[in-house]
Copies of this chain bind each other. A is one copy, B any other.
């Protein structure tokens, strides 16, 4: 089985590549070729027994997608894109990368299938940013996509393309609306949602974190580990179970900032919590106010997608996956 990952240098793409390289299979099939592409060179994942192809490409440049699809990957994980903050600050770049890049990828798949049958599973990372206020406390599977960011608009447009290309038989698409990913490892990115991760990640590393919103702000979270689980599950789902609606809200945890902090205290102690400095930022608070807080992800749950079981588990996953389990000492050092 051949697998292509776009955005392979991004956080999700990199973790997915690492996991696929280690397990060497997807469902019941061995992975023969793993192709990683991004606009910057992807990192080599450890332990892959098959053929690893590292590629650097801008998908929004004509013919790049055609070249990548010529290898006829059986499964494509399309995670490439720029984040919400950048899509908002650079209007043209957002549409070029997030919309046109995805459209060229779909067009290349369709083109490849015109000569001889080709209909790969395409797993697309969409986002709960396709929703915009006002919405009910809990968003269900039938709620309209009315985004309030250019990023969310681009994701919603690609979702529509994905469904139509699938309906026409050109691709076998599944779009996953990922929750806010928490705890994001590494350094802060341009997303306004960054503080949800930094108030956990930074204290665990004995660094100060700034909390720009009040403690009762509620959001919809999934760990990187849960997100990778969604992607792998989507890649092997029976298409017959999906029907015409190919884009789904993913399960997650609806927790407040105060609940996040309480979990941090349980896992890492008071010392860690004391590294959080409250500094209200009205701009961020206003943005966050327009974001979804909770979902009834009934459809995804029925299809077997599984969220983290608690925010304590999310923190513990971060410690295990990113800090080699070494939390206790670090937290005590604060």
* Chain A positions near chain B (C-beta within 8 angstroms): 91, 132, 135, 141-148, 150, 153, 156-157, 160-161, 163-164, 167-168, 244-245
Contacts and interface: CB of A to CB of B under 8 A. Distances in A.
A146 B91 contact: no
A135 B244 CA distance: 13
Given A160-B156, A244-B132, A144 B147 contact: no
Contact of A160 (B143, B157, B168): B157
Nearest to A245: B146
A262 B163 CA distance: 39
A163 B156 CA distance: 12
B168 A161 contact: no
Contacts of A164: 147, 150, 153
Question: So how many copies of this chain end up in the complex?
Answer: 2
A245 to B, nearest CB: 5
A163 B168 contact: no
Nearest to A88: B168
Contacts of A135: 142
9 contacts: A142-B143, A145-B145, A146-B163, A146-B245, A148-B167, A150-B168, A156-B160, A157-B161, A160-B160
A156 B91 CA distance: 20
A168 B244 contact: no
Given A132-B244, A145-B145, 13 more contacts: A144-B144, A144-B145, A146-B244, A147-B160, A147-B163, A147-B164, A148-B244, A150-B168, A153-B160, A153-B163, A153-B164, A157-B157, A157-B161
Most chain B CB within 10 A, of A141, A157, A163, is at A157
Contacts of A156: 160
Contacts of A147: 160, 163-164
Given A142-B144, A244-B148, A161 B153 contact: yes
Nearest to A243: B134
A214 B156 CA distance: 36
A140 to B, nearest CB: 9
A112 to B, nearest CB: 15
A26 B95 CA distance: 34
